[in-house]
Chain A
Amino acid sequence: MITYDHLTKIFGEGQDAVTALEDVTFTIEKGEIVIFLGPSGCGKTTTLRLTNRLESITRGTIEVNGQNIMDMNSVQLRRQMGYVIQDIGLFPNKTIAQNVAVVPKLLGWPKDKIQERVEELLSMVRLDPGIYLNRYPAELSGGQQQRVGVARGLAADPDILLMDEPFGAIDPINREQIQDEFLKLQEKLKKTIAFVSHDIHEAIKMGDKIALFEKGRLVQYERPEALLTHPKNKYVSDFVGADRALKVLGIIKVKDVYNPNTKNVVQSSDMAQTVLNAMEQKQSKFSIVLNQGKPIGYVTPKLLKYEQGPVKELVETFPLHLRERTPTRDALSFMLMYDFITLCVVDANHDFLGTVTYNDIQTKIKQSYANEIDQEGV
């Protein structure tokens, strides 16, 4: 847990004084990723650098796990926190293994424990230890170097990780991949992470919460979907962008919107004419066919007309099924792409869980914005 309390930072003195950070108060909970977001010069990096005392605090306090950092030895403090920066800053004179081992070595770990840890970490960031241990940073691509940077930050297994645009120097394709891998890692590691970024997409994707800064002030501190649906002022709504409704779709998952009690479901052994009659009665245009709880496709009245026998021989298959963790953005995209307004949700076992329709998604979006519309009405 990191607590920032009325934090102010002024660079320089007298007439040259520049206020980089003014009266910032917020708390990063244990195990959460908090994104420090904002344009350059907004104070996000300064806040991070104050946290490990690379800059000195002008006023206010920072507490780490309840202890004021000014009461701690700065070198000891930094060794308790992982630090990953945009320029990576790998030491060119050291091998990859030696680079990752820096902090454990400073902490005086025994050699075999360091060796073991280095190999474990390299595997964790998906670099084969057999190949990379004894290479030098110059021999690695930018993306690989960044992975080493992350491994180095995690080396001594710190509870807290400070990351300053850690994926900023990587090309967009690799960045997506590293972000995904990092999130998977975080699910296991549950570190408390302060993460500086200027990219709203990265912030939405990575953050449990987002701290949005403007000119040294903390403007809004919220969960990403709250920031998107309830921007506090024009600065925030401009920053998150006009397409924020679409961005919300990236956060809302299929599990938040799907209908588990779909009515228009039939079994694969049902007879075509029975199903057709039932559908005509209900005036439904569409039935999902299940075989032992697994969706095998769908039927329409047109398909069933003049047919005999069980429906399982008449089904049209779905182009794909959704999973619970699929973002609704992707679900909507599939609907547009394949011209379907209903898609099935299945679990890892491929068992049917329910359906998602275009309406389900729209209703959820409307709900998210409901409060905002109320507020604007006042």
Chain B
Amino acid sequence: MGTLNFILKNIHTVLFLTWEHIYMVGVSLIIATLIGVPLGIMITKNENMAKKVINGANIMMTVPSIALFGLMLPVLALIGEGLGKVPAIIALILYSQLPIIRNTYVAIKNVSPSIRDAGKGMGMNRWELLKEVEIPIAIPVIVAGLRTAAVMNIGIAAIAAYVGAGGLGVYIQQGIDRVYPEMILAGALLVSILAILVDGLMALAERMLTSRGIQIQKRLSR
């Protein structure tokens, strides 16, 4: 009850922090998509590269977020951005790469060879094949990767409060410092709700972006 009261009493701050949180995750997800999806597609043509890139993204995931902020701090300090939203967004971009690249790579790789062969044999060039056939078929899995990345990043963004990036993590961090359980709970609760909401929204996007033909195929093959 105390937590709910706390949220209602501080509704303005709550909304602001929530907005900051969404902003960080949103911006990082857009940039991560612009990097990860083309990269994921590119490495389908080069097995050697694929292994290296996916391993790299894997290693990235093993670095604890706090440690990553610490490592970036002296580097970004050189351009005066050691603290705040910039390191937070960069970290989020890096963490999103694995699900995005891996899903894109797997999805494109899994397009049936006979479909690719038919397209090529009919005289589609690389770009036409990608645009007309491979990407539309891969879309559900690619969007699933984005969904994983988005939900994961909502969690990681909470920690970014420690480098002064703002967001709902501020409540958790300050709540711990001030031994203020309602504040901690409010932060945790809001982060969780946000994650669930975003997960639902991404599921909806996944359905909307998937071609009807593929939806029918999935339904019938079940």
A-side residues, CB < 8 A to B, are 52, 54, 75-80, 83, 85-95, 102-103, 106, 136-139, 152, 162
B114-136 interface code vs A (CB 8 A; 1 in, 0 out): 11111111111100100011001
Contact among A86, A94, A103 with B213 in the assembled complex (CB-CB below 8 Å): A94
Residues on B with C-beta less than 8 A from A94 are 132, 211, 213
Given A76-B123, A93-B214, A87-B112 contact (CB < 8 Å): yes
A77–B122 alpha-carbon span in the complex (Å): 9
In the complex, what's the smallest C-beta–C-beta distance from B157 to chain A, in angstroms?
34
Residues on A with C-beta less than 8 A from B112 are 87, 89
A86–B118 alpha-carbon span in the complex (Å): 10
Give the residue name and chain of the B residue nearest to A48 (CB).
B121
Q: Determine chain B's interface SS by DSSP, over half rule.
A: helix
Q: Is the CB of B213 within 8 A of A136?
A: yes
In the complex, what's the smallest C-beta–C-beta distance from B191 to chain A, in angstroms?
36
Q: Is the CB of B122 within 8 A of A102?
A: yes
What are 12 A-B interface contacts by the 8 Å CB criterion? Answer: A54-B120, A54-B121, A75-B125, A85-B114, A85-B117, A87-B112, A87-B114, A89-B115, A92-B214, A102-B124, A138-B220, A162-B121
Among all A-B residue pairs, the 6 with the closest Cβ atoms: A89-B118, A87-B114, A136-B213, A79-B123, A78-B123, A83-B121
Residues on B with C-beta less than 8 A from A139 are 216, 220
Q: Is the CB of B216 within 8 A of A91?
A: no
A75–B119 alpha-carbon span in the complex (Å): 11
Residues on B with C-beta less than 8 A from A54 are 117, 120-121
Which of B118, B124, B136, B212 is packed against the most chain A CB atoms within 10 Å?
Answer: B118
In the complex, what's the smallest C-beta–C-beta distance from B130 to chain A, in angstroms?
13
Q: Is the CB of B213 within 8 A of A137?
A: yes
A139–B216 alpha-carbon span in the complex (Å): 7
Residues on B with C-beta less than 8 A from A88 are 114, 118
A169–B10 alpha-carbon span in the complex (Å): 67
In the complex, what's the smallest C-beta–C-beta distance from A196 to chain B, in angstroms?
13
A54–B114 alpha-carbon span in the complex (Å): 13
Give the residue name and chain of the B residue nearest to A106 (CB).
B123
In the complex, what's the smallest C-beta–C-beta distance from B141 to chain A, in angstroms?
13
Q: Is the CB of A78 within 8 A of B121?
A: yes
Give the residue name and chain of the B residue nearest to A153 (CB).
B122
In the complex, what's the smallest C-beta–C-beta distance from B127 to chain A, in angstroms?
11
Q: Is the CB of A89 within 8 A of B114?
A: yes
In the complex, what's the smallest C-beta–C-beta distance from A132 to chain B, in angstroms?
13
Q: Is the CB of A83 within 8 A of B137?
A: no
Interface presence of B46 (CB below 8 A): no
